[in-house]
Amino acid sequence: MTGYHHLLECSTPFGLLTLAAMADSGLLGNGPEDRTLLVVSTTPAPESRRPFHEDPVFARALSRFGRVVDWNSLVAPWHPRHWCPAPADAVVLERLLRRLLQVDEDDLSLVVESLHMPPSRTMATIFSTASVTVYADGLMIYGPTRNDLPESITGRLARLVMLDLLDGVRPRLLHEHRLPLVDLPFDAFRAVVQELVDHSPDLPAPASGTAVVLGQYLGQLGLVTTAEEEEQHGAMLRTAAAAGASRVVFKPHPAAVGDPRRGLGVTAAALGIEVEIFDSPVLAEVLVQHLRPVAVVSAFSTGLFTARALQGCRVLSHDTGAFLRRLAPLANSNRVPAAICDATVESWDETTGALRAPLLPLERPADVQRLVDAIAYCIQPDLLPELRGAAEQMAAEQPDILRRSVPAPRLFHLGLPGGHPGTLWVRRLPAPVLDAVRPRVPGIARRRAQVGRLAAPLVRRLRSTRAVRP
């Protein structure tokens, strides 16, 4: 898009690299003077950490942007995840912010990460006439739109820019708005990563037989306890060993708390492999491109898929199915990334002590597309009715795979094969009662109307069982 001034939201190093690659690919105007980077930190206590972009390692990536503005300082003392002005204030703030940022161009382009919440939502609200580009911050774009967006924003949606990490599988984020997809060239992204490889001091030395293990902050997401997380780390080492690694570079998640060293040493000694802990804000993609490892292991990190797509690495996961079962609510935005990883990545089975081939190999993208579509439909049937066919097909033909991501009561309430209404006492209800609560037409609003007010408490009860039983 030329002739525009681009306001670019950036909250992670991965986002910064994506934006830099977009700039290099000509997707963001002609030069730095056309771009203003709005850097945001959305961690729970952002004031207590130095913003990532102040690390000199990112200086070259930042050189694409004529101006770099710290959004947190602009909205201080409020948290950028929560602050959004009232419409009456937004009009004044737009005028003031345009003056402050010196963007008085009529043609303003806003490039953001995830429109369903602040700060992206806040920016789209304030810059009320800007065209809106969404760029992928990982696998979450394969999941459906979290909340329906107001027409005042969707009417301005211009494009969705993404790395095609799944060999042509189409994302379902904002799918209902028929948004043009723009593929970010892999070469451009690799070139930006290479800049960081060349300018990151203290990267571990490449060696044959090296695997990379990417820790995740599942403990902080409340998905596992610290003890389980440590056990998980041990299992990831066994996975790497099973893939033939003799040395493991373990990269803890930058947001993770606690000491990853606990538990790793003992496991490594038992396996006879060497472990190096690389606790650094350096991106997983940088580490992988530098090391060219024999394998990359993680729970469901986007890093697995960038390693596979960009570097052609063998990737493995461990026990992603267990996380999937615990994820709540259904619309948890980690569900689709975890489901993709669970289905498409070779995994380590702790009980058999062997590697398990993927259920849906990525070599057959149409199968993966069907899974993505089926889950997206189950989460957002009202937004994505045209994906019902995929869901029906999946539920009929590969129910075991779908059921790993979508609980049976949900399938039941959507009238899909393979579902049941939940707990045993409910299943024992007389058939006419069950028929009454089972919707004939999908759609929560219409279902309410059909079942009627008297049955509503029962429906709520039934729907609440989702969280109890997988």
Partner 1 sequence: MPSASPSASVVVAARDVLPYVDDLVGGLRRNAADDVEFVVVDDASRDGTRERLGDLLVHLPNSRLIEHPEPRGLSAARNTGLAASSGEVLLMIDGDDWTGPGYVAGLVRAMATLGVDFVKTGHVLEHGGRRTRVLPPTGAIGRPLVPRDHILPSHRSTMVDFTYAHSSAYSRRLLDAGLLHFREDFRTAEDRDWSWRLMLGADSLAAVDVPGYFYRRGVATSLTSIGDERQLDFLGAMRAIREILSRDPQGDDFMPKALRTEFALVYSHHERRRRLPQHLRDRMRRESQELLRSVPTPLFTSVARGMGPRRAAFLAMRRAGAA
Which spans of this chain sit near partner 1 (rule: CB under 8 A)?
44-45, 47-50, 76-79, 81-82, 257, 259
CB of 218 to partner 1, least distance (A): 16
Cα 216 to Cα 222: distance, rounded to the nearest angstrom: 12
- Between 50 and 461, CB nearer to partner 1: 50
Closer residue to partner 1 in complex, CB, 48/352: 48
Query: Which CB atom, from 12 or from 306, has the smaller least distance to partner 1?
Result: 12
d(CA 376, CA 390): 10
Which of residues 42 and 393 has its CB atom nearest to partner 1 in the complex? 42
Nearer to partner 1, 70 or 392 (CB): 70
Of 117 and 455, nearer to partner 1 (C-beta) is 117
Smallest separation (angstroms) from partner 1 to the CB of 298: 22
For residue 2, how many C-alpha atoms fall within 13 Å in the half-sphere facing its CB?
4
**Rounded CA separation 284/276 (Å):** 15
Cβ atoms of residues 298 and 253 within 8 Å: no
Q: 298 has which bridge partners?
A: 317
What contacts 464, CB < 8 A, 6 or more positions away?
none
Pairing of strands 354-356, 35-39: unpaired
Helix (H) or strand (E) holding 308: helix 302-311
Nearest distance in Å: CB 276, partner 1: 20
Minimum separation from the CB atom of position 227 to partner 1 (A)? 12
Locate 412 and state its tokens. 């039941």
Contact 161, 27 (CB under 8 A): yes
| 2 versus 78: smaller Cβ distance to partner 1 | 78
The token duo for 16 is 């910064």
**Nearest residue to 421 (alpha-carbon basis) of 449, 381, 385, 458:** 458
**DSSP sequence for 414-447:** TT-TT---SSHHHHTS-HHHHHHHS-SS--HHHH
Minimum CB–partner distance for residue 273 and partner 1 (Å):
26
Output the six-digit token pair for 47. 């004031």
Rounded distance, CA 403 to CA 342, Å? 12
CA nearest to 251, candidates 311, 291, 220: 291
State in angstroms the smallest separation of the CB of 426 from partner 1. 34
Choice between 120 and 317, CB closer to partner 1: 120
CB of 258 to partner 1, least distance (A): 8
How is 351-406 classified by DSSP, letter by letter? TTTEEE--SS-TTSHHHHHHHHHHHHHHH-TTT-GGGHHHHHHHHHH-HHHHHHHS
Q: How far is the CB of 83 from partner 1 (least distance, A)?
A: 9
Cβ-based nearer residue to partner 1, 85 or 365? 85
Closest distance of CB 146 from partner 1, Å: 17
> Distance (Å, rounded) from C-alpha 353 to C-alpha 351?
6
Closer residue to partner 1 (CB): 77 or 432:
77
Write down the least CB distance from residue 89 to partner 1, Å.
Answer: 16
Nearer Cβ to partner 1, position 42 or 154? 42
- Name the amino acid, one letter, at 42: T
- Cα separation, 329 vs 467, in Å, equals 7
Q: Taking the complex as a whole, how short is the minimal distance between the CB of residue 312 and partner 1, in angstroms?
A: 36
In degrees, to the nearest 5, what angle opens at C-alpha 462 toward C-alphas 458 and 467?
145
